[in-house]
Amino acid sequence: MKKLLVICLLLISVSVATSQTDPETFLRCLVKEGSNPQVFISDVTYIPSNSSFTTILRRRIPNLRFDKPTTPKPIAIITPTTWSHVSPALACARLLPVQVRIRSGGHDFEGLSYTSTGPFFLIDMFNFNSVDVNLTEGTAWVDTGATLGELYYKIAEKSNVLGFPAGLCTTLGVGGHISGGGYGTMMRKYGLAVDNVVGSRIIDSNGNTYFDRMSMGEELFWAVRGGGAASFGIVMGYKIRLVPVPEKVTVFSVGRTVGEGAVDLIMKWQNFSHSTDRNLFVRLTLTLVNGTKPGEKMVLATFIGMYLGPSDKTLNVMNRDFPELKLKKTDCTEMRWIDSVLFWAGYPIGTPTSVLLKTTTVSNKAFHKRKSDYVKRTISRTGLGLIFKKLVEVEKVKMFLNPYGGRMGEIPSSRTPFPHRGGNLFKIEYLISWSQAGDDVEKTHLAKANEMYKFMTPYVSSNPREAYFNYRDLDLGSNVNSTYEEGKIYGAKYFKDNFERLVDIKTKYDEINFWRNEQSIPVRK
């Protein structure tokens, strides 16, 4: 009787519905498509009239730029807890039709995982977050709604000599982060997260599920290891190979201003950081601090390092390869690898690892814009002087420099869609953040980011000017008309020669371009 009623309602709704994008219509479609009594998809679906809708939507929005009253909102949020919640949602997306957005950690720098220009619903993966560590194999299956913090925690819970080489920020989602590449402090030794993925599980637009690498085939498996899974389907999980970590690692952070010889140190850093012992990773951050005169600003260069081993070895390597920094034993702190995860994420030393299980985004949110660049030739002393001057002039822009080399230089550029391998000295991340709301304030800050980026042109890669896909930046182009030509503009920057292969795979597996967003892989027509 009840079922009959549902069907009747559905018939009526189809005939009288004024809009395909009305949440109630969508919900009725879900009920119909998910009619298997074991599924109850409506139990995990939130429509805007539901009092929890906004809380769920905002759970993983770390960037206030995409959390405004004017930000487009989904007509529904589905929070799958099992595989069978996904297929009915995709069926309705095809039927109505509406766009689908998939969110894991929600850290996309342009908010593409939870905003869209047209009507859309959101598949929010946060409930789908199990991590299954197999110590015998040294592997783990991790569901894509897990955060890196949850993943690292679950690994460390089982072993103190295994880790995983992925990102520094522990609230990143496995789904977006791994499908777009994923670098961290161990990349010089073990490569990227994608270099350590050995299996994957995917659902395609027809609701077909591929439970392993064999069933999906090598092409699709290649594409979702750096090409951005959102162009190809929903990745439900990745099987990863864990990597050995020592019982003790060593971290340090040493800052020097221009007056304290920062320029000389950076000249040396550019030369050694990519060629040194691959157990060593020394990130360089350039930020502004107050100068000696009132109102004066100057650049502070901070060398933040980690060595996969004890402090005496750290000092040996640093004194051999970077003696100019004069690193001292007292600068070094030995800790477990899992504690270094907290150190890099910005927690004070001694913070309990259980904070890694807190997976909603932080309360002190701000507005952010990020950009990226690759550097292949040493920047001259004169160049550095000019860059410092510019940083002071534009204010507020910070630069984080991550050295490459080591394992990164050995992996061929075509092994995964992520192409930025040999020949890169380091990657630059430009960061600008602000806390005051308002369109004018936003405009001013975005202009500053662009000014700094433009200024850097002579010092960074060109033809194409390369960028890291996971540092999504819509200034690099977008897919207004879903054409190959548009896609090639940003695609060549993110993927270089791998772009054409991604287009071929996209065309083969998603010819109707079901999975699309502002920077998805286009279909070849």
Ligand X SMILES: *[C@@H]1O[C@H](CO)[C@@H](O)[C@H](O)[C@H]1NC(C)=O
Ligand Y SMILES: Cc1cc2nc3c(=O)[nH]c(=O)nc-3n(C[C@H](O)[C@H](O)[C@H](O)COP(=O)(O)OP(=O)(O)OC[C@H]3O[C@@H](n4cnc5c(N)ncnc54)[C@H](O)[C@@H]3O)c2cc1C
Least CB distance to ligand Y at residue 442 (A): 17
Stretch that binds ligand Y, among 14-22, 95-103, 282-290, 309-317 (CB under 6 A): 95-103
Least CB distance to ligand X at residue 273 (A): 11
Choose from ligand Y, ligand X, none: what does 165 bind? Cβ within 5-8 Å by kind. Answer: none
SS3 339: helix
Nearer to ligand Y, 122 or 265 (CB): 122
Phi and psi torsions of 36, nearest 5°: -55, 120
C-alpha distances (whole Å) from 488 to each of 280, 521, 523 are 36, 9, 11
What residues between 466 and 485 interact with ligand X by CB under 6 A? 480-481
Phi and psi torsions of 49, nearest 5°: -75, -10
Stretch that binds ligand X, among 64-72, 129-137, 245-253, 437-445 (CB under 6 A): 129-137
Nearer to ligand X, 81 or 462 (CB): 81
Stretch that binds ligand Y, among 46-54, 181-189, 350-358, 485-493 (CB under 6 A): 181-189
Phi and psi torsions of 376, nearest 5°: -115, -20
Asked if 169 touches ligand Y (CB under 6 A), the answer is yes
Report the residue from 21, 25, 45, 104 that binds ligand Y according to the rule CB under 6 A. 104
Least CB distance to ligand Y at residue 380 (A): 28
CB atoms within 10 A of CB 309: 20
Nearest 10 degrees: CA dihedral of 346, 470, 183, 369?
A: -30
Please, what is the angle between helix 262-272 and helix 381-394, to 10°?
A: 120
Nearer to ligand Y, 187 or 286 (CB): 187
Least CB distance to ligand X at residue 507 (A): 19
Stretch that binds ligand X, among 100-108, 116-124, 130-138, 162-170 (CB under 6 A): 130-138
* Tokens encoding 70: 């004017």
Least CB distance to ligand Y at residue 219 (A): 16
Choose from ligand Y, ligand X, none: what does 107 bind? Cβ within 5-8 Å by kind. Answer: ligand Y
Asked if 183 touches ligand Y (CB under 6 A), the answer is yes
Asked if 251 touches ligand Y (CB under 6 A), the answer is no
Least CB distance to ligand X at residue 483 (A): 7
Least CB distance to ligand Y at residue 191 (A): 12
Contacts of 425 (CB under 8 A, 6+ apart): 270, 273, 274, 375, 376, 377, 378, 403, 404, 405
Report the residue from 9, 17, 64, 168 that binds ligand Y according to the rule CB under 6 A. 168
Q: Does an H or E element contain 7, and which? A: helix 2-16
Asked if 205 touches ligand Y (CB under 6 A), the answer is no
Partner residues linked to 342 by β-bridges: none
Burial status of residue 421 (CB atoms within 10 A of its CB: 0-12, 13-18, 19 or more): buried
Burial status of residue 45 (CB atoms within 10 A of its CB: 0-12, 13-18, 19 or more): buried
C-alpha distances (whole Å) from 185 to each of 116, 202, 246, 412 are 33, 28, 14, 20
Asked if 519 touches ligand X (CB under 6 A), the answer is no
Stretch that binds ligand Y, among 163-171, 249-257, 405-413, 501-509 (CB under 6 A): 163-171
Asked if 172 touches ligand Y (CB under 6 A), the answer is yes
Nearer to ligand X, 182 or 403 (CB): 403
Give the whole-angstrom CA distance, residue 400 versus residue 372.
10
Please, what is the angle between helix 2-16 and helix 23-33, to 10°?
A: 140
- Is residue 220 within 8 A of residue 505, CB to CB? The reply is yes
Asked if 102 touches ligand Y (CB under 6 A), the answer is yes
Choose from ligand X, ligand Y, none: what does 50 bind? Cβ within 5-8 Å by kind. Answer: ligand X
Residue 261 gets the label, from left (phi > 0), alpha (psi -120 to 50) or beta, of: left
Q: How far apart are the first and last CA of the chain?
A: 49
Asked if 477 touches ligand Y (CB under 6 A), the answer is no
Q: Does an H or E element contain 134, and which? A: strand 131-134
Residues in the interface with ligand Y (CB under 6 A) total 34
Phi and psi torsions of 185, nearest 5°: -70, -10
Choose from ligand X, ligand Y, none: what does 136 bind? Cβ within 5-8 Å by kind. Answer: ligand X
User: Which of 43, 80, 373 has the alpha carbon at shortest distance from 237?
Assistant: 80
Choose from ligand Y, ligand X, none: what does 144 bind? Cβ within 5-8 Å by kind. Answer: ligand Y
Asked if 419 touches ligand Y (CB under 6 A), the answer is no
Q: In the block, which residue shows the tokens 């960061």?
A: 431
Q: Within 13 Å and on the Cβ side, how many CA atoms surround 441?
A: 13
Least CB distance to ligand X at residue 329 (A): 25
Nearer to ligand Y, 25 or 359 (CB): 359
Choose from ligand X, ligand Y, none: what does 319 bind? Cβ within 5-8 Å by kind. Answer: none
* Tokens encoding 238: 């990745």
Nearer to ligand X, 44 or 399 (CB): 44
- Binding residues vs ligand X (CB under 6 A): 42-46, 50-52, 134, 136-137, 267-268, 271, 290, 295, 480-481, 486
- Binding residues vs ligand Y (CB under 6 A): 62, 101-109, 112-113, 125, 144, 167-169, 172-173, 175-177, 179-184, 229-230, 234-235, 470, 517
